[in-house]
């Protein structure tokens, strides 16, 4: 058996070089796998944050809209022409509406952060940090994400034949369309162009700009939420 000490110097150096190269390759492979794992974990964390924020916002919306409906039932004229209300009634109604919408505004800010939209950008578009229209941005994101999930669910069921044609039709017709209801409530038909894929930071910012361009106070935002809940058949 050939002993290492009997090898010529050049062979020893070559062997050490090959070992060094092998070690470097192993280290680089390990670093690449670690980096990929970190990126995967980060994406999973962001997705989890979005899902938690969306769920929290959806629960809040579904709890708030019936309360808004109650206010609208007390002031039916608001749905037809809020300008006919006297100043005292307007101030009282705005105060009640504000208390209902503020939690939605705060929840929307949290939701937007999960899409990497920071408060600085939002404050640039809305001068008032408590602007009620911010809640409608959250409603837009909820509608977009819910529409996407509903579409995926239907496609999955159809692909594997788990639903009959009659069931497919019934499922599609029985559930209100989130996007249609959003358009009905806010009146921005241009949002459709933003709903052809997954919601991203860029799409969220476009939604902010679209909704910020509409003049709407607390009562107007409340009416929009009322109409959305009515369209969605939540009451």
Q: How far apart are CA 34 and CA 67, in angstroms?
A: 50
Q: Judge whether 35 lies within some domain.
A: no
pLDDT at 26 over 70: no
Query: In the chain, what is the straight-line distance between the N-terminal and C-terminal CA atoms, in Å?
Result: 88
pTM here is 0.69
| pLDDT (tens digit per residue) in 8-21 | 665 555 556 666 67
Q: How many domains does the chain have?
A: 1
Burial 116-141 (b: 16+ CB within 10 A, else e): ebeeeebeebbeeeebbbbbbbbbbb
- Percent of the chain exceeding pLDDT 90 equals 29
* Angle in degrees, 0-180, between the axes of helices 178-186 and 218-231, rounded to the nearest 10: 150
Q: Judge whether 24 lies within some domain.
A: no
Whole-number pLDDT of residue 3: 53
| pLDDT (tens digit per residue) in 184-214 | 888 765 555 555 557 788 888 888 888 888 8
| Burial category of 107 from C-beta neighbours within 10 Å (exposed 0-12, middle 13-18, buried 19 and up) | buried
Q: What is the mean pLDDT of residues 226-231?
A: 91
Q: Judge whether 15 lies within some domain.
A: no
At which residue do the structure tokens 């806010």 appear? Answer: 186
Structural domain including 101 reads: 46-231
Q: How far apart are CA 74 and CA 177, in angstroms?
A: 28
User: 100: closest CA among 127, 130, 137, 140?
Assistant: 130
Q: Judge whether 1 lies within some domain.
A: no
Q: Judge whether 22 lies within some domain.
A: no
Whole-number pLDDT of residue 152: 40
Whole-number pLDDT of residue 159: 42
Contact yes or no for 219/85 (Cβ under 8 A): no
Residues whose CB is less than 8 angstroms from the CB of residue 70 and which lie 6 or more positions away in sequence, other chains included: none
Q: Judge whether 18 lies within some domain.
A: no
Contact yes or no for 114/49 (Cβ under 8 A): yes
pLDDT at 142 over 70: yes
pLDDT at 126 over 80: yes
Whole-number pLDDT of residue 157: 41
Torsion of CA 190, 193, 197, 201, to 10 degrees: -60
Q: Judge whether 162 lies within some domain.
A: yes
DSSP state of 163: S
Whole-number pLDDT of residue 62: 92
Whole-number pLDDT of residue 125: 94
Highest mean pLDDT among 55-59, 157-161, 212-216: 55-59
């Amino acid at each position: 058996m050939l002993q290492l000490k009997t090898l010529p110097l050049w062979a020893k150096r070559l062997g050490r070089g090959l070992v060094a190269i092998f070690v470097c390759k192993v280290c680089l492979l390990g670093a690449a796998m670690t980096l990929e794992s970190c990126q995967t974990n980060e994406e999973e964390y962001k997705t989890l944050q979005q899902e938690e924020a969306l769920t929290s916002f959806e629960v809040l919306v579904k709890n708030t809209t019936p309360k808004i409906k109650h206010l609208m039932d007390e002031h039916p004229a608001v749905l037809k022409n809020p300008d006919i209300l006297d100043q005292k009634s307007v101030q009282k109604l705005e105060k009640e509406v504000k208390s209902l919408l503020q939690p939605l505004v705060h929840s929307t800010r949290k939701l937007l952060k999960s899409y990497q939209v920071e408060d600085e950008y939002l404050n640039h578009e809305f001068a008032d940090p408590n602007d009620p229209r911010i809640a409608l941005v959250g409603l837009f994101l909820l509608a977009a994400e819910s529409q996407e999930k509903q579409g995926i669910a239907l496609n999955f069921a159809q692909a594997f034949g788990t639903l009959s044609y009659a069931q497919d039709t019934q499922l599609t017709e029985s559930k209100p369309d989130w996007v249609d209801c959003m358009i009905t409530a806010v009146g921005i038909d241009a949002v459709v162009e933003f709903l052809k894929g997954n919601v991203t930071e860029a799409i969220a910012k476009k939604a902010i700009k679209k909704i910020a361009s509409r003049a709407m106070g607390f009562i107007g935002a409340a009416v929009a939420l009322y109409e959305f809940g009515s369209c969605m058949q939540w009451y």
